[in-house]
Amino acid sequence: MTRWSILILALVACSGGQPAQHGPETPHPEPEAPEAPKPDAMPDTPVLDAAALAKSAENTALVPSPVETERALVAAGVETQLASLIPKHTFDLEKSDVDHAAVRTGVVLGDMLLTVKTAEKDKLIERLESVRKGLGQLEGGSDIDKTLNDYVASIQADAISRDELLKEFDELSGAIIPELEFNGKERVVPLIQAGSWLEGANLVAQAVKAKGTPAAADGLLKQPAVVAYFSKYVKTEAEAPQQVTKTLEASLATLQGLAEKKEPLTAEDIDTVIKTTSDVLGLL
């Protein structure tokens, strides 16, 4: 599936008093009172734009970052299994409706992010090229295209480590892609993220099922706020075929219920995640 914080500065003013007199003797010179701080030397109190903050919160969303996800995968002991579980996608990333294209691009983005440290070089480059095609179809712009091409060149030349690449992709998914305009279509970013989330949920569920440790997926799949965020966009002004959006909506509703469970996920829950996410992915 990035965080933000707001720091409000508090200004504290100090005042001093006059010293007591010591009698008729030769008076000691009174110490000079400290100069009051000049108004222009005081820091300005930040002006917070509520509308801008809300917009930023929507764009960065609540999706776990690649770095956070990688840590959770390592903790669950399944990070090395994901690469072998990714199917050969035959998506048309050149031409389709915007909703379809956004979810498909999110799926291949998820594949790339989840296997940054474990995929073979050629496979990682192939996934990166798929993401580039998808973002191009969505009119992400020439800057993101150049950025992705630069990544490809660095990987081909072994000029960047996988740890460095993970951090770069963290910035890519958490800050760069959410800020792209996509020709004014606000639905694109959350649907890209929804595609990544569905693919990640499917792969993680398959991995913990194979390992026989369903509760290990709790930290990755129990994200009710994330699912609610995606559902809001799926239910409004859908452009994709109704079969896709209806199945996507039903799948997210199921995941929402599992994400809100207080008890650890069971083997049956994991089977439900695999089926519901596969239902959507199979339509793309």
Cβ burial 233-269 (10 Å sphere, 16+ → b, else e): bbeeebebeeebbebbbebbebbbebbeeeeebeeeb
Instruction: Please write the tens of the pLDDT for every residue from 178-223.
Output: 899 898 888 888 888 888 888 888 998 998 998 898 988 888 888 7
Distance CA 135, CA 70 (A): 23
Q: Give me the percent of the chain exceeding a pLDDT of 90.
A: 27
pLDDT at 255 over 80: yes
Q: What is the pLDDT of residue 7?
A: 28
Q: What is the mean pLDDT of the chain?
A: 75
pLDDT band at 30 (very low <50, low <70, confident <90, very high): low
Q: What is the pLDDT of residue 85?
A: 87
pLDDT at 268 over 70: yes
CB–CB of 110/199 below 8 Å? Answer: yes
Largest CA distance in the chain: 100
Q: What is the pLDDT of residue 161?
A: 95
Q: Give me the percent of the chain exceeding a pLDDT of 70.
A: 72
Instruction: Please write the tens of the pLDDT for every residue from 118-174.
Output: 899 999 999 999 999 999 999 999 999 999 999 999 999 999 999 999 999 989 988
Q: What is the pLDDT of residue 42?
A: 37
First-to-last C-alpha distance (Å) of the chain: 20
